[in-house]
Structure 1
Amino acid sequence: MNPEVLLRVPVRAEQDVVTVRANTKHLADRLGVSSQGQTRLATAVSELVRNAYTYAGGGQVEYVLDAQAQMLYVRVTDQGPGIPRLQDVLEGRFDSPTGRGLGLRSTRRLVDAFEISSSPGKGTTVQVGKALPSTPALRELGTKRLAAELSKLRPASAVEELQAQNQELLRALEDLAQREEQLRVLNRELEDTNRGVVALYSELEDKAERLREANHVKSMFFSYMSHEFRTPLNSILGLSRILLERQDGELSPEQDKQLELIRRSTGELLQMVNDLLDVAKVEAGKTEVYPANFELAQLFSTLRALFQPLLVNPDVRLVFEDVGELPALFSDQGKLSQILRNFISNALKFTEQGEIRVSATRCGAQAVRIEVTDTGAGIAPDDLMRLFRDFSQVGPQHGARSGGTGLGLSLASKLAGLLQGQVGVSSAPGQGSRFWVELPLVLPERELEGSREKSERNEGECDA
């Protein structure tokens, strides 16, 4: 039996990316592919379709079923400018500024079959394949019935696709957590055993490699999902803003209230997606550091102007101390600002009355420490140990008031590491909290060993 084309879908708009992803997942489900396999194939196809729309202005998607070989193929073609240095891209020797090379290499790892051809000025064709399970689904359904089902599918809306992807993300996170827990249990059992040192060492190395691979897959998954989320979220924000500005007519008070709730909730979700993407970029080594000379006084002034409109509680004061004679820093001002914004935002969330004070002091001759001190509820000692971990939320009712993903402090710690620095905290229930970041005055060259620099900075310079 020859392979049969089930459906051809033109790609002309961003909505078509959402539609193709939904079609792919539906077809894989009908053919008996596992939930994880459906997500991997749908993610790979949507990445290729988005590339065709972004770089070539559109294209076409074909679903091809090879019943004899038990394979489902998805072919994405475009008439764009083609991909220069294709072999270098696929072998990891070239990355474009837009990250297209990373997308192609990662897509190839998500599928069972991958073929690509590209010529300058003649477009690009990419075909990916998924092996189908040995089930009677193909014989029972029939290719004509499958093709009819696909052609009758209602185009998925951005909100529906966002909800579906959110469920996939939650399932993937749960699966990763279960795997990490299994690894921890296995490691404890191995540590309790004092037999076969060579065999034990080999098994521990094997489990560590699996954990590193799981973390890599997690980072890539976050990156893909975050990109997929951004388009519908920005669309929702734009549409709600148009309605709130009365561009399409007046609203009732209740409609205005509900739209404002939609806008605020979408903005919070978009911030979570941005945090996920930032963490994924750091873990994948794709975050660049751009050092430049800047004054701390100027940075404090910018932060003061940024947070002043957010001080809605009259019982709380935000104080920025004078930096005195501190010299200029040579570091990445944007990443340092992101760290301090996270510290100050958390302090505002958990401080009911009193003040939040931002200060800076020298740490010996070569480093500076910037602290954010508040008079809030404080943090329990048990919570301090996990404060800077991914997805860790602490505070009153473990962050019930603030929401979020628990990635802010984890991201701050990773950004400080990129700047050859470190973060820390001291707190006690009912006594407020003190978060700090310690950085070198001059960011060392990349080739210098970070451990040696940190050791030189910490020799009796700052008290924790």
Structure 2
Amino acid sequence: MTPRRSAHDVLTIALRKPGDVITLRRCTQSMCRAAGLTGSPLVRLTTVVSEAGEHLLGAPGLSAHLCLEETDTVMVTVRIHWRGDHRPPSPLLSAAGRLLDDSRLTGPHDDGRHELVLAQRTAAPAASLGDLAADVRANLADGGTAADLIEVLRTQNGQLLAALEESQRQQEELQRLNAELEETNAGVMALYSELAGELQATNTGVVALYAELEDKSRRLELANGHGRPVRRLPAHPRPRRRPSRQRPRLPSSRHPQQRLARPHDVTINSNTRSNAGVDATPFPDELLQTQAAFNATYAALAASHRRDTIALRRRLLRLSVRLWWHPYWNTAHSVPAARTQLRQLARTGEAARAA
């Protein structure tokens, strides 16, 4: 059962020209504000009403009837009437159904008129609905529309100024971000150049290291062979008889602790003999500290949970270059042995500090 409606007329506007649609919009806004309808519901109702008036403009007998209706709730209602074959577009009717609390299209009736009802729910006023409708009529008749227009223009100007200020702030923020981005790009390019130089120096040091190691290996082989290169034994040597002198006995399977010599055993034994008897070398404190820092940086870089790997890699490269090209190695008697002893001393110092 449909509840009985109690309607209180406010104003009827004939829509014959575009200016009448603007007047309809202003009067709808004034009625909504007087009924306590503000914010988004007011905007939705006035927007749908003005759109419907523009689409139906030119229809015979087009008019808009503004009223306040009361059933179980209070509704701010605009009823648009016309005759003929004009019909609001389907997108407008769908939007009205989504945006408004009540939207209905009826007709044609017995008199040939169509009716489009657009309504929005509002809170019940403190005074009676009839008195509120009378106040709204008096306000519209006394020029409240002009005052409402001034208020709307003032509100729009305030919103425009706020939008301009927000745009200015966003532009300044964008300029600041662009400046920071340019500075960051310059820093990245400088870092790339520095890393490229350090990588070139490291590559040069590695090449020199390989050359020195190769030269030391050749000298050790010559020293171990008494002026002749060491003859490398095959993987599975076959015994043969020498009539001139007695050959050393080969290890048999009955002695598993004995094993055949491998090519790398010769190098290890020669290094052991060349390093044997070397006294503890007094290294400079600065060199020991550099080696300890290198060990600590390498350990930190090996940790899987670290994220600052870029800084650690750069530090590791710098420390490796300092260690390799330190002036002390120009005066060392046995550079490979001294380097090994330096690493051992650095590890011993770290273990003593940890204990």
Instruction: State the structure with bigger RCO (CA 8 A, min sep 6), 1 or 2.
Output: 2
Q: Which has the higher helix share?
A: 2
Which range, TM-score by smaller chain? 0.3 to 0.5
Highest Rg: 1 or 2? 2
TM-score under structure 2 normalisation? 0.39
Give 1 or 2: higher strand fraction: 1
TM-score by length of 1: 0.30
